[in-house]
Structure 1
Amino acid sequence: MHWLTDLLSAIGVVLNGIPQGIMAMSLGFAIFPTMFSFIFASAVNGAFGAVAPLSFQAESLALTGKLGRSLRERTSIIFGGSVIMLVIGLTGTLTKIVDVLGNGIMAGMMAGVGIMLAKIALSLAKDQQLTGWISIALAVIIYLITKDLVWTITISVVGSSLAAVGIQHYHADLPEHVTARRFIFTKPTVNVRVVRGALSLACLNIGANISYGLITGQMTGIKPNPVNLNLLTGTQAIADMGTSLLGGAPVEAIISATASAPEPVVAGIMMMLIMAVILAFGWLAKLGKFVPSASIAGFLLILGVVVIFPENAAIALHGTGTTAAAITLVITAIVDPFTGLLTGAILKFVLPLLGLGV
């Protein structure tokens, strides 16, 4: 009966990813070409026995949506970020970057991302008040009761969407390129926002691949940790690079419940293939017409304030190097992850030269 447990864990992660896929559609990303990211990642995981799957990730979507003003800018940010991550993955420098910067500064950056997500959640609630505030209220209540992110995101998204449809008669007309089951080449562009966004996305993925990847590996109970961070980084980079040229959404490392299944590799592959089928047949696009973008507000708030911020802030503000880590946290929350990480790196090496504590 292992296969049934594997399948159930895969379905649970799919349910977690669907609202974030809807969030991707609300940002203008094409859904059909994104299925190839899931197919490619499932093939890599099957070939190498990797336990860490890829899926839609709220953090990367929120950051890309914030820094890119149009679909072309957003796909260009993803393409640029994936090129950077591919170089990091192929050269095996991911862990070296963390060794140089230190866990404190990396944790400060991730904690700042938590605050950034909370700000985005409140902004969504302000723009779509009925949907947004119902989503936040449901998310807070359900998380306090269950401490389970899958139930939190499912009930908050479904409940707030039903309220929007029933009370406001919500029905979105998604752009044709979002729902079209064909490929539309999107030529990358370069400007200051794209460069800044690509660097920020790469910084976010450095932290996410290490933290989420290792957490997923720990959930398997296998020692030493079975996650190959370089393989995970390279897979994610190639997947994003291809789909971004077709207007597709990014797929990144996540904390996946499939890792706790009896066969974590099989469960992860099941999850990605199920998601690929959902995208291929256009089921997500049909569902997205009745789910407002603000329905994700509650999940973003819980993810940022409760899940990401406390643990990372505790690491950043504990031990040595707290000044640089704290400033990294604040700058990331106010500006973006790249600026925060760069500021922290400079302070880490400059403050001691000036005889100041860090």
Structure 2
Amino acid sequence: MHWLADLLAAIGVVLNGIPQGIMAMSLGFAIFPTMFSFIFASAVNGAFGAVAPLSFQAESLALTGKLGRNLRERTSIILGGSIIMLLIGVTGTLTKIVAILGNNIMAGMMAGVGIMLAKIALGMAKDERLTGWLSVGLAAITYLVTKDLVWTIVISVVGSSLAAVFIEHYRAELPEHVTARRFIFTKPTISLRVVRGALSLACLNIGANISYGLITGQMTGQKPNPVDLNLLTGTQALADMGTSLLGGAPVEAIISATASAPEPVVAGVMMMLIMAAILAIGWLPKLGKYVPSASIAGFLFILGTVVIFPENATAALHGADGTVAAITLVVTAVADPFAGLLSGAALKFILPLIGLGV
């Protein structure tokens, strides 16, 4: 009966990913070409026995939506970030970057991302008050009761969406390029905003691949940790690189419950293939018409304030580089991950060279 447990774990992660897929549509990303990212990642994981799957990730979507003003800028940011991550994955420098900067500074950057997500969630709630605040309230209550992110996202998204549909008579008309079951080439553009966005997205993915990848590996109970961070980084980069040119959404590393299934590789592959089928058939756009973007506000708020921030802030502020990590945290929260890591690196390495310390 292992296959049934694997299937249930896969379905649980799919349920977690669907609202974030709807968030991707609200940002203008095309859904149909994104299925190839899931197919590609499932093939790589199946071939190499990798336990860490890819899926829609709220952090990367929120950051890309904040930094890019339109679809062309957002897909260009994803393309640039994926090129950077591919170089990092191929050269095997992911763990070296962390070793150079230190765990404190990386944790400070991730804690800053937690605050950034909370700010985005509250902004959504202010813009769409009924849906947004109801989503935040339902998410807070559900997480306090269950301590389970899957239940948190399901109840907050479904509850706030039902309220929007039946009270406000919400029904969105998604742009044609979002729902079209064909490929539309999106010409990349380059600007200071795009370059900075690509660097910020790469910085976020460095932290996410290490933390989420290793956590997923720990959930398998296998020692040593079975996650190959370079393989995960290369897979994610190649998946994003292809779909970004077709206007598709990014798929990134996640903390996946499939790792705790009896056959974690099989469960992860099943999850990605199920998600690819949902995108290919066109079910996600049909759901998206009745799910406001602000319905994800509660999940983003809990993810940022309760899941990401406390653990990373605690790790950041303990140790010799605690002050530098705190500054990295604040700069990331008010600006972006690239500015945060850049300020942390400058304080750690440049100030001692000129005889100053923090």
| TM surpasses 0.5 | yes
Q: How does 1:232-247 map to 2 (within 5 A)?
A: 232-247=232-247
SS of residue in 2 equivalent to 1:218: helix
1:207 corresponds to: 207
Matches of 2:132 and 2:351, distance apart in 1 = 43
Give per-residue Cα distances to partners, 1:208-239, cap 9 Å, x unaligned.
00000000000000000000000000000000
Counterpart code for 2:336:
D
SS state at 1:33 partner: helix
CA RMSD of aligned residues (A): 0.6
How many angstroms does 1:357 deviate by?
3.9
1:1-358 alignment to 2 at 5 Å? 1-358=1-358
SS of match in other structure, 1:98: helix
Instruction: Give CA-to-partner distance per residue, 1:55-81, whole Å, 9 cap, x none.
Output: 000000000000000000000000000
Give me the whole-angstrom Cα distance separating, in 2, the residues matched to 1:232 and 1:188: 25
Per the normalisation by structure 2, the TM-score is: 0.99
**SS of structure 2 residue aligned to 1:163:** helix
Q: Distance in 1 between matches of 2:110 and 2:294?
A: 23
Deviation at 1:281, TM superposition (A): 0.4
Counterpart-to-counterpart distance in 2, 1:311 and 1:142: 20
The total of aligned residue pairs comes to 358
One-letter amino acid of the structure 2 residue matched with residue 202 of structure 1:
A
Post-superposition offset of 1:322? 1.0
Give, as a single letter, the amino acid of the residue that structure 2 aligns with 1:321: D
Q: Whole-Å Cα distance in 2 between the matches of residues 231 and 188 of structure 1?
A: 26
Percentage identity across paired residues of the two chains? 85
> Displacement of 1:356 after TM fit?
4.1
In the TM superposition, residue 352 of structure 1 has moved relative to its aligned partner by 2.4
Q: Deviations over 1:68-111 (max 9, x none)?
A: 00000000000000000000000000000000000000000000
| 1:142-198 C-alpha deviation (Å, 9 max, x unpaired) | 000000000000000000000000000000000000000000000100011100100
Superposed displacement of residue 206, structure 1: 0.2
Letter in 2 for 1:126: K
The two structures have a TM-score, normalised by structure 1, of 0.99
Residue by residue over 1:122-146, the C-alpha shift from the partner in whole angstroms, topping out at 9 and shown as x without a partner, is 0000000000000000000000000
2:210 partner letter: I
| Equivalent residue letter for 1:18 | I
- SS of the residue corresponding to residue 82 of structure 1 reads helix
Alignment-mate amino acid for residue 171 of structure 2:
H
**Equivalent position amino acid for 1:239 in 2:** A
After superposition, the C-alpha distances for 1:26-53 in whole angstroms (9 at most, x for unaligned) are: 0000000000000000000000000000
1:354 Cα deviation after fit: 4.3
1:12-37 deviation line (CA, Å, top 9, x unaligned): 00000000000000000000000000
Which amino acid counterpart does residue 331 of structure 1 have in structure 2?
A: V
Corresponding letter in the other structure for 2:75? T
In structure 1, runs of 5+ residues without a counterpart are: none
Q: Give the Å deviation of 1:355.
A: 4.1
Q: Give the counterpart letter for 2:59 in structure 1.
A: E
Structure 2 segments unaligned to the other structure (5+ residues): none
